[in-house]
Structure 1
Amino acid sequence: MTTSPPAGTTQEGTRRDGRAGPATSLTVTEVRAVLLSHRYPQGEELTWVGGTIRSWDAALVEVVLSDGTRGVGEAGAGIMAATAVPGLVDAFRPYIVGAAFESPLEVADHLRAYTAFWSRGGIASGVAGAIEIAACDAVAKRAGVPVHELLGGAARDRIRAYASGGLGTTFEQVADWAATQVAAGFEIVKFRAMSDPDTTLRLLDHVTATLPDGTRFVIDAVQACASTPWSAEDAIRVGTRAAELGALWYEEPMQADDVAGFARVRAAVDVPVSGVESNGTVREFAELIGAGGVDLAQPDATFVGGFRAFSRVARLAHGAGVDCVPHVWGSGVTFAANLHAALAEPTVELFEYCTLPNPLRDALLIEPTDFVDGTIGAPSAPGLGVQLTEEIERRFAFQAGGGHVIR
């Protein structure tokens, strides 16, 4: 097994502040995939230019330790491809059940090392990370401490959050959403582009004209824009207008794999460029940052491969003079995992808070989110602060055919 120290520590079991941490050794005896759905009632579906979100799906992973302690993780890509996760969990099972680790932060690296012929990135790396996150949840629960204690301790008590959502198919829907977020105490709002660049330019003008003084905004081009990417020239036109209007950053102006396109857009616009939330490896972030593609990296612990991978990206970004803000768009498990990861990294100062209605997210959280004056407080419950009960599995039984399907 690997023996490198966990994120935020100088040696195994030692916190950033020098105090001894909890015992972290573990053996996994069981692992299973748990697929869940919140199906929106007819007429209450989430609509945007990418299609209709009929359900919010989640692909969770539960592990059981040798002492019976259970932990839960999530593969973030499950919001779109939940049915791909159980087979990957089955494929990883021979490499995790019965294996002994000195720290749960070794788990994803171990799995990727033993399965390197097929797990180098994408949803496979995310599932490995989900198993690591679940192991961290279990070990922290066993010790009676929040997960951020395993990551070296929280670097701050609270973290500033921005409102993320901004779906809708009309300018008015997006503007109304933004106004609601400002009224709730957010100082930063992020809304999504329309399908074509010209309509997106008009959307920018419309929404920003309605924002109160002092409110900052982010425009998310959703890989320019999702299924039919814009040209670099069009992405630059949108970014130029976003800069003129004072955007805080311009998100994913090109398709995720178009590293050269990211670099071209970034060089041409006077607004910070960000990406790529769906990257499944630290290597992909290294390539994007090395090419000059982004001013702001957006790793997601449930996509990029777990807590240790998240920390590597955050530190890589900081070393290159690039900011780091996590992507957070999933169930309560994804929310909690990224919150603990962000709190434990001294250089991460902003957190994405999806404000779209999601009863599944809320049911999985043990305590309501501590949101006050635009900030979120550090969780204090043992583990991630999430629960997976038989009642939740019944109430949110998986229903195929929904999820975030882009059409």
Structure 2
Amino acid sequence: MATPSVFDATDIDRDSAVQVESVRTVLLSAVYPPGEELTWVGGVIRSWDAALVEVTLSDGTTGLGEVGAGIMAARAVPGIVEELSRYLVGVPLAHPVRVGDHLRDHTAFWSRGGLTSGAIGALETACVDAVAKRLGVPAHALLGGTVREKIEVYASGGLGTTFEHIKDWAHQQVAAGLRTVKFRAMRDPATTIALLDFVVPSLPARTRFVLDAVQGCASTPWAIRDCVLVGEAVAAHGGRWYEEPCRAENVAGYVTVRAALPVAISGVESHGTFEQFRELITAGGVDIAQPDVTFVGGFRAFHAVADLAAAHGVDCVPHVWGSGVTLMANLHASLSHANVRLFEYCTLPNPLRDALLVSPPDLRDGMLATPTAPGLGVRLTPQLEDAFPFQPGAGHVIR
């Protein structure tokens, strides 16, 4: 993996060494009351789940990370984390952002990508959180510092089974001061085009929109000709970009769709390795890369993707869809890289996200300010664990 230079020298002149004493996985659920579940064409989300990883350093400091795919597969996480911890507990490392590479190097036989990469990223994130708290500095200080004081966010949500529901959601986001809204496609291309025709003309002037085709993880993805047909409608309506029109592994499909359309193409949020992004970017498959710290393997891997994207003239806009730990990890990563100028902000109700934050995000006029709390700016208490006990089988689904 390419090594981003930002991690080779930081402004921290105090001890950034890390040695993990113990690791535990914490599964949590924020269960929606009956009638308040999140319903969309992909299924019903009855709870927002989180697979958190807590590390305790040798000096007793604790830190948190999150496995992003835990929103769908939380019960698969504890065993993976337990196996990874064998290669981390008691091992002295010079800096917490070395954790991901250390684990990848020592578990390469079985840990390349997928949920395991998310677990590696969670362990690295937790170590960064712990060391930054020990030093009394925000996590971004350990990532080379910030390159901007605030970052533009776009509203991400747009779930629903009716056109009216999605339109109402979009208008609420604009009223809240967000200038770009992203909503999800319907099941088939024709209905999706009808959705665009219904929602987009109703948006206030100067509001931008994104269509997420959700084909990156679709069980039966659209044919390429249909991907292009929907993309033509996105372009005709002036879309800011067209997200994940093809299955995640279909690099040739991305190249074909991008070449056929005058609108920017983005992907792939679920990629778990730098190498997957390298294949997609160097093939010319996207205009916008969408890594997620909690999927791609931690801060170092995230920045490597952003570096590679910059070198190929590709923008980098992170995927952010999880608890407060995912939110803050990606925010620190984004604010510390020059090629990240826009940030996904999920506006769907998520009590677990809010409860884990030390303080509410400073979101004003569509801009999210730099965090100042030590570490990531998250906390896990026994009271919070009692309030959000894990409920298996109710989280995110895709039908």
TM-score bracket for the superposition, by shorter chain length: over 0.9
Q: Residue in 1 aligned with 2:385? A: 393
1:45 aligns with 2:55: no
CA distance in 2, matches of 1:399, 1:175: 31
2:359 aligned to 367, 371, 383, which one? Answer: 367
**Local SS of the residue matching 1:222:** coil
- Using the aligned pairs only, state the percent identity: 63
CA distance in 1, matches of 2:237, 2:305: 30
CA distance in 2, matches of 1:217, 1:398: 35
1:337 aligned to 304, 307, 329, which one? Answer: 329
Q: Residue in 2 aligned with 1:258? A: 250
CA distance in 1, matches of 2:15, 2:292: 26
2:197 aligned to 179, 183, 205, which one? Answer: 205
Give the unaligned 5+ runs of structure 1: none
1:60-71 alignment, distance < 5 Å: 60-71=52-63
Superimposed CA distance per residue, residues 95-132 of structure 1 (whole angstroms, 9 cap, x where no aligned partner): 01100000000101111111111100011011011000
The letter for the 1-side match of 2:199 is V
Q: Residue in 2 aligned with 1:289? A: 281
1:22-171 alignment, distance < 5 Å: 22-171=14-163
**Local SS of the residue matching 2:220:** coil
CA distance in 2, matches of 1:307, 1:100: 19
Answer yes or no: is the 8 Å Cα contact 1:193–1:225 preserved in 2.
no
**Local SS of the residue matching 1:200:** helix
Answer yes or no: is the 8 Å Cα contact 1:164–1:191 preserved in 2.
yes
1:8 aligned to 3, 6, 9, which one? Answer: 6
Query: In structure 2, do the counterparts of structure 1 residues 224 and 244 end up closer, same or farther at CA, with 3 Å as the change threshold?
Result: farther
Answer yes or no: is the 8 Å Cα contact 1:300–1:328 preserved in 2.
yes
Superimposed CA distance per residue, residues 285-310 of structure 1 (whole angstroms, 9 cap, x where no aligned partner): 00001111100000000000000000
2:395 aligned to 374, 398, 403, which one? Answer: 403
Q: Per-residue deviation at 1:170?
A: 0.4
1:182 aligns with 2:191: no
CA distance in 2, matches of 1:351, 1:45: 25
CA distance in 2, matches of 1:316, 1:333: 25
Q: Per-residue deviation at 1:206?
A: 0.6
Q: Per-residue deviation at 1:10?
A: 4.4
Superimposed CA distance per residue, residues 181-230 of structure 1 (whole angstroms, 9 cap, x where no aligned partner): 00000000000000000000000111101100000000000116722210
Scaled by the length of structure 1, what TM-score is found? Answer: 0.96
Superimposed CA distance per residue, residues 247-289 of structure 1 (whole angstroms, 9 cap, x where no aligned partner): 0000000011111111110011110000000000000000001
The letter for the 1-side match of 2:6 is G
CA distance in 2, matches of 1:224, 1:89: 26
Q: Per-residue deviation at 1:353?
A: 0.2
CA distance in 1, matches of 2:300, 2:189: 37
Answer yes or no: is the 8 Å Cα contact 2:3–2:300 preserved in 1.
no
Query: In structure 2, do the counterparts of structure 1 residues 8 and 90 end up closer, same or farther at CA, with 3 Å as the change threshold?
Result: same
CA distance in 2, matches of 1:213, 1:366: 36
Superimposed CA distance per residue, residues 338-372 of structure 1 (whole angstroms, 9 cap, x where no aligned partner): 00000000121000000000000000000001000
What is the RMSD of the two structures over their aligned residues, measured on CA atoms?
1.3
1:313 aligned to 305, 316, 319, which one? Answer: 305
1:380 aligned to 348, 354, 372, which one? Answer: 372
**Local SS of the residue matching 2:239:** coil
1:168-247 alignment, distance < 5 Å: 168-223=160-215, 226-247=218-239
Q: Per-residue deviation at 1:6?
A: 7.0
CA distance in 1, matches of 2:279, 2:138: 33
1:357 aligns with 2:349: yes
Question: How many residues are aligned here?
Answer: 399
CA distance in 1, matches of 2:213, 2:290: 14
Please list every run of at least 4 consecutive aligned residues from structure 1 whose deviation after the TM superposition is greater than 3 angstroms.
Answer: 4-7
Give the unaligned 5+ runs of structure 2: none
Q: Per-residue deviation at 1:144?
A: 0.3
Query: In structure 2, do the counterparts of structure 1 residues 6 and 316 end up closer, same or farther at CA, with 3 Å as the change threshold?
Result: closer
The letter for the 2-side match of 1:47 is T
The letter for the 2-side match of 1:311 is H
1:274 aligns with 2:266: yes
Scaled by the length of structure 2, what TM-score is found? Answer: 0.98
Answer yes or no: is the 8 Å Cα contact 1:7–1:308 preserved in 2.
no
Answer yes or no: is the 8 Å Cα contact 2:144–2:336 preserved in 1.
yes
Query: In structure 2, do the counterparts of structure 1 residues 364 and 7 end up closer, same or farther at CA, with 3 Å as the change threshold?
Result: farther
CA distance in 2, matches of 1:225, 1:195: 13
